[in-house]
Chain A
Amino acid sequence: MQKEPKAKVIETPVEYMGMWVAWNDDHTKIVASGQSLSKVRDEAICKGEPKPWMDRVPNDNELYGGGSFVA
């Protein structure tokens, strides 16, 4: 039987798909969100979160990850 993980798992709400979100220092609360990385970060800082964790939530059509060089 598969054991349930004991560790706490961070869950990002579905309404943030395709957006940048800024988390507070201990990753418990989203303090800002939007389409622009720099604007979302600036908004989080203005709201009193000087060092937010920036997270890009993937969208349905973001099927591929990763990067490589083109020959």
Chain B
Amino acid sequence: MKFNYELRPSKPYEGGLPIFEPIVPIELLGPTGAIRFRALLDTGSHISVFPNISASSKHLTGNSSKLRGVVAGNEKLIFEGRGISICIGSDGEKYVWEAGVWFTEDDTHRPTLGVLGCLEYFNAEFRGQERTVTLEPAENFPGKVVSLWERLPFAGA
């Protein structure tokens, strides 16, 4: 499953250097709700961490315990989301797995896919010149791979 890097905005005084980042569209699926994010794929992040969804999607995270963590350089309370699955889809396939993900108490940082809950289950190839990243499920991938073509009524006919 291949994803293109995205060009992030930067201001002229930074030198005008383009910054491309591996951003992956994902859907978080909870017991009673779902939300779509464009998440940064970050090999330097120990955890997969998301902003507080609050209000309309509060039930997505359920009850959970709190820990202290560091997110985007700032120490914050983080709480574990329970019963959360991540869905990534591209190229006619979907990968869906139940993931250990964490949420912060505010919404001021970027959705991030780190080692725990995401990269630990994939073989990832970052191709800097092409500005693409490819994810393939590793042997320990705990979820399922859904082919969107197989679900079509005329498939295999």
Residues of A within 8 A of B131 (CB): 5, 7, 9
Q: Judging by beta carbons under 8 Å apart, are A37 and B107 in contact?
A: yes
Q: Judging by beta carbons under 8 Å apart, are A54 and B110 in contact?
A: no
A-B contact pairs, 12 of them (CB 8 A): A5-B4, A5-B131, A7-B4, A9-B5, A36-B107, A55-B37, A56-B111, A57-B9, A62-B72, A65-B44, A67-B71, A67-B72
B135: interface (CB < 8 Å): no
Residues of A within 8 A of B111 (CB): 54, 56
Residues of B within 8 A of A68 (CB): 45-47, 69-70
Binding site for A on B (CB under 8 A): 4-11, 14, 20, 23, 25, 34-38, 40, 42, 44-47, 49, 51-57, 67-73, 75, 78, 102, 107, 109-112, 114, 129-132
Residues of B within 8 A of A12 (CB): 6-9
Q: Judging by beta carbons under 8 Å apart, are B57 and A17 in contact?
A: no
Residues of A within 8 A of B37 (CB): 53-55
A1-57 at interface with B (beta carbon < 8 Å): 2-3, 5, 7-14, 16-17, 20, 23, 27, 36-38, 41-42, 51-57
Binding site for B on A (CB under 8 A): 2-3, 5, 7-14, 16-17, 20, 23, 27, 36-38, 41-42, 51-58, 60, 62-70
Residues of A within 8 A of B6 (CB): 9-12
Residues of A within 8 A of B75 (CB): 70
List the B residue with the shortest CB-CB distance to A38: B55
Residues of A within 8 A of B67 (CB): 69-70
Q: Judging by beta carbons under 8 Å apart, are A67 and B47 in contact?
A: yes
- Known interface pairs A36-B107, A38-B57, A58-B110. Does A23 touch B38 (Cβ–Cβ under 8 Å)? yes
Contact of A14 among B11, B36, B44, B46 (CB under 8 A): B11
Q: Judging by beta carbons under 8 Å apart, are A20 and B107 in contact?
A: yes
- Known interface pairs A41-B35, A58-B8. Does A67 touch B69 (Cβ–Cβ under 8 Å)? yes
